[in-house]
Amino acid sequence: MRLDKYISGCGYASRKEIKRLVRQGVVTVDGETAKKSDMDVSEDSEVRVNGEELCYHEFVYLMLNKPAGFVSATEDKKYPTVTELIGGEYAHFNVFPIGRLDIDTEGLLILSNDGALAHELTSPKKNVYKRYFAVVDKPRGESDIKAFAEGMEFKDFTAKSAKLEITENSREVYIEIAEGKFHQVKRMCERVGKTVTYLKRVSIGGLKLDDSLAPGEVRELTDAELKLLK
């Protein structure tokens, strides 16, 4: 790959800045001063800028605590998007949200530029359970647990068996679903006569939302967290 691609893949600088750094003679490749920003390097090359070694990676995996008011998209004509919450250091990775949360839903959203992972996590065939905390307008009952466990037929899809877990507060429940269809949790709750008044995703598969992330905050997944998803 080109040297400038390698360096920008490390979040270091724009291509124009990289040209300038190369001209200044502060970029080395395997110990030799780089002469051209489009020279060929490999992923294993040792690239340094001002003596600082860079570490190239193709993909980035971010955990966002999505706040209400943002759409799960990279562009939108009407509303702010979740990618606007991602810091400039990740701009060159062109991340996109993996799966969707409604504009008023909060909580765990993964953003990445890894299309294969996106497929793994969103394909209904893969049965990756997503867990939500929901507040509903009426007290839940035992029959709701049964209705969720049996799965539900909708015009456009069949929801597989889902889990409704009760808490001590009769209007607060945890819900686990295998798919991630449009408004799925809200529609399943409507089916048992309840309206969701607050919804937050708390985990995807084995990955839990980091409680220390305030709404709108983002951080990279650790290697251990990434393994939970793959």
Q: Which is nearer to ligand URA, 5 or 191 (CB)?
A: 191
Q: How far is the CB of 14 from ligand URA (least distance, A)?
A: 35
With beta carbons less than 8 A apart as the criterion, state whether 179 and 188 touch: no
Helix, strand or coil, per DSSP, at residue 135: strand
Compute the Cα dihedral for 120, 123, 128, 133 and give only its sign: positive
Q: How far is the CB of 144 from ligand URA (least distance, A)?
A: 16
Q: Which is nearer to ligand URA, 56 or 157 (CB)?
A: 157
Task: Identify which range of 12-20, 51-59, 98-106, 205-213 contacts ligand URA by CB under 6 A.
Answer: 98-106
Contact letters (x/-) for ligand URA, 163-202, by CB under 6 A?
--------------------xxxx------------x---
Structure-token match 């969701």, residue found: 196
- Diameter over CA atoms, the chain: 72
Looking at 102, 172, 210, 225, which residue binds ligand URA (CB under 6 A)? 102
Task: Tell me how crowded residue 214 is: count the other CB atoms within 10 A of its CB.
Answer: 8
List, as one string, the DSSP characters of 160-199.
PP-EEEE-SSTTEEEEEESS--TTHHHHHHHHTT--EEEE
With beta carbons less than 8 A apart as the criterion, state whether 66 and 105 touch: yes
Tokens read off for 131: 């867990």
Residues identified as active-site: 102
Interface size with ligand URA, residues (CB under 6 A): 8
Looking at 105, 136, 207, 218, which residue binds ligand URA (CB under 6 A)? 105
Q: How far is the CB of 105 from ligand URA (least distance, A)?
A: 3
Contact letters (x/-) for ligand URA, 44-83, by CB under 6 A?
----------------------------------------
With beta carbons less than 8 A apart as the criterion, state whether 144 and 125 touch: no
Tell me whether strands 106-112 and 196-204 are parallel, antiparallel or unpaired. Answer: parallel
- What is residue 4's DSSP assignment? H
Q: Which is nearer to ligand URA, 21 or 85 (CB)?
A: 85
Q: Which is nearer to ligand URA, 94 or 158 (CB)?
A: 158
Contact letters (x/-) for ligand URA, 113-142, by CB under 6 A?
------------------------------
Q: Which is nearer to ligand URA, 83 or 184 (CB)?
A: 184
Beta bridge partners of 84: none
Q: What are the residues binding ligand URA (CB under 6 A)? A: 101-102, 105, 183-186, 199
